[in-house]
Chains A and B, each alone.
Chain A
Amino acid sequence: MNLGSESMEYVIIPSKETDIDKYKNQGIKTFIVGLKNFSTGYKTILDLEQIKKLSNEVNLFVAINKMIENEELKQLEEILLFLNNTNTKGILYYDLSIVSFHKKNNLKVNLVWNQTHMVTNYNTANFYYKENVKYGYLASEITLDEIVEINEKSKMSFFVNIISHPIMSHSKRTLLTNYFKASNISKEHENYLLSEKNNPCNFIIDEDKTGTTIRYGNIINGTSAIKKLLESKISYLVIDTSYIDDNVIIKVLPLLQDILTITNLEDSKYQQILKELEKILGSDTGFFYKKTIYKVKKGEN
C-alpha cells in the first residue's frame, strides 16, 4: 500500500507569480495566492482578473485574510460574488464578515477557516462546518497528535503547513516605520531580521499596507510528520515558500513527491528521504512534537 493517499496533495504558496509554472512542472496542482488589497502575509498578490484566469489553470485557493474595515465591506461583498463565478476552489478567511456574506448570498465557492493561530480544535471546526465552511487551515502551533485528532473528529478537509517560516504575529501598527521614525533614520527595506538574546533563531519582520507581520526565522520542517498525516488522511500539505529560496523548494519537491510513492514496508526509504530533507531544510520541527504550556509553575516566570 502506498503511503500517499489519492485525496492528499501538496499545496504551494508561491513567493512570486512566475514561480507557479515552475512548480506546476514539478507536479503541483494546487496553489494559494493573495488578493490585491485584501490579503496579508502573502507574497503573490493578484487582482481579480488574474485570479479568474489562474483559476482555470490550477486548483486555486485565494486568501482574503486581512482584518476587514467597515469601509471595505461593500467591495468585499462584490469580490466574493465575483469569485463565486470563477473556478476558484476556495477562499481562505480570517474575518467573520466573509462567513456572513457567504451565508447571506448563498455562495457556492468554498470557504477555508483560516484564522491563523486560532484553528486549534475539532469542536470549532464542526461549528464552522455547519456554517457551510468545508475546509480548515490548521494553526502551526498545535501538535501532530492534535492535528490527527482534529481531522478524525471533524468533517472538514484540512490544510497543514509542513514547510514554512510560520507567521508569528500580525499588527495593524506600522512597527518598522514607527521605529525608524523614532530613531530618526531612514527605513530602507520592507523587511528586516530581529534577534533576541535568549533565542537562537532570528525573526523576519515585514511591513506592508495592512500593517506588520513577524515570521519565525527558521524553516519549520514538518516532513517527518508526513507519514502520520497521510495515514490520518489529511487533505492538503502546504509548502509556504515565503522567504525560502526557490532553489531549496526545487530540491525539496521531488523528495516530497517520492514520499507519496513509497510503501509502508519501505520505512527505511522514507527515513532516508527525511534525512535528505533535513539536510536541506534543517531540523526545526516547530510544534509538531512540542506542546505549549500556559500555566506557569511557581518560580518559573
Chain B
Amino acid sequence: MTMNTQGRPTSPVSAANQSVDTVSGSKGLLQAEGLIFEIGTQDTTGVDLPTPKNRTGRLGGVARKQPTGLPGLSEPQTVRHYMRLSQKNYAIDLGLFPLGSCTMKHNPRLNEKLARLPGFADIHPLQPQATVQGALELIDELATWLKTLTGMPAVAMSPKAGAHGEFCGMMAIRQALVARGEAEARKRVLVPASAHGTNPATAVQCGFIVDEIKANARGRVDMESLKAKLEKTDDIAGIMLTNPNTCGLFETDIKEIADLIHAAGGYFYCDGANFNAIVGRVRPGDLGVDAMHINLHKTFSTPHGGGGPGSGPTVLSDALAPYAPVPFVVKDEDGVFRLVEDMEGDAKESFGRMVAFHGQMGMFVRALTYMLSHGADGLKQASEDAVLNANYIQARLKSVMTPAFEGYCMHEALFSDAFTADGIETIDIAKSLIDEGYHPMTMYFPLVVHGAMLIEPTESESKAELDRFCDSLESIARRAAQGDETLKGAPYLAPMRRLDETQAARKPVLKWTQPDANSVAAE
C-alpha cells in the first residue's frame, strides 16, 4: 500500500474531559451557541405582519403544503446568533496565523478602500466594454506587474484560486502536446513527494499519469531519482514542482531540473503557492519555468480562508502562451482595451474558457493596490522579511524542537516530532496552541517529515509578536519533551473540547433533523 505515516489519534482520549462547568454552557464571555434550528422556533418571526383578510392564493396547485421548517428568529436573536458564531472564529485580524504554506498575511485596509470605489465595485461583467475601460486597464496593469515580477511573457488572469491556476497551466501543457501531436504519447507527469496535494490531483484531472520523485535527505528533489525517471523520455509530459518547496526550502537544483525536463521534451509547471518568499529576488522565468500560478490571496495580500475568494493568475512561457484561456484583455493601437472572448484571431489556439467572466475583479483591485503601495522595493522587502521572520522562529525554537532539515529555511519553518516524548504527538501540541490563543500551525504535512509542524509567520508580524508566539510554543514543546500527559486533553479553554474526528468520519451527521417529539417531551 502507499504508506502514509501521518496517521494520528483522531478520537478524544477521555470523555471525562468533556464536562462543562456552567449552567448555560458558556465559558465566561465566550457564549455557548446552538444551531440556528435549535434556537429558533416556527412561532417567532422578525417581521410581524397582520394576517391578510380574504386572501386568495394565486399559486394554483404548486403552493407549499408543509411549512418550510426554517426557524423564525427575531432580528436581535439573529444578530446575536451570528455575532456569537463570529466570536468563535480565529482570523488574521485577531492574531498571528501560523498555518504553513497558507501565507496568512495582513490584508491592508487600503486594499479594501480602493476595492470599494464605485468604479470597481458597482460595475457588471456584461456592461459594454466602452463603459469599463478603467477596469480593463486595471486588469492589464496588474498583468504587466505579474509578468514583470515573474519574468514571464504572458499571463492568464481568469483562474479563481491556486488549484484552478494549476488546472489552467496543466491544460495549457496538454493543449501544447495536442498541437505537437503527442498528447496520447506523453502522459507522464513527475511530481515530488513533498508536493502540495493539489499537484497530483490536477495532473490526474487533466488526464495525466502521476509519477512520484523522491526527496533527498536535504528535503529537496533527489536528482538521482529524477534522472532515473527520465531514462525513458518519450512519454514525459512535464514536471510539477513547488519552489520554494513545501519543506520551506529553495530547490537549489531547479535550473538543472528545468533543463532535464526540457531535454526530455516536457514542460515545467511551477507551483507558485510560495512565490511570496522570492518576489523581487528570483524571477521564475529565469529558472526555465513554463507555467506558474500566483496566489493573489497569499503573495499579494488579498483576503482568503473564509475572508474572501482566492485568485490564481497563471503566467505562461512563450511555448505555452498561445494556448492561454479566454477571455483576456488586449490593448489595441488606438489605446482602447478590448476583451478577447472568442476562440478566434488572437485566441484561435486557446484551450478554452475556465470561468464565466474575467476572474476575481475585486481581488485584482486589492492586489494591484498592494503592489503600487509597496512599490518594487517594498515587495522585495516583504519577501525578505517573511524569510527573516521564519528563520527567527526556527532559530528561537530549534533548541527545544527538532528542525526537519539543517540550515536556513525560506518563508516557513518546518519541525518534526522527534523531540516529543513517547505518547505525545504533534496533534497534542497543535491543540495546546489553541489554549494559548493561536490557530495551530499546519500539522502532519508535508508527508515526507514525520509528525510535521509547518509554521509560516509571514512578514506581517513584529518581533514582539513572534516572541509572544515562540514563548507559548516553546513552553508547550518543553512539556511535550517531558511527556506531560495533560497536553493530550487540550484544548481546555476553547468553545469545544477535542473533537472525535474518527466518529465524524465514520458516521458523519451532515444535516440537522427535528428531534423526535416524544423523546423531547420525555426529557
A, B: real partners: no
Chain A interfacial positions (CB closer than 8 Å to B): none
Chain B interfacial positions (CB closer than 8 Å to A): none
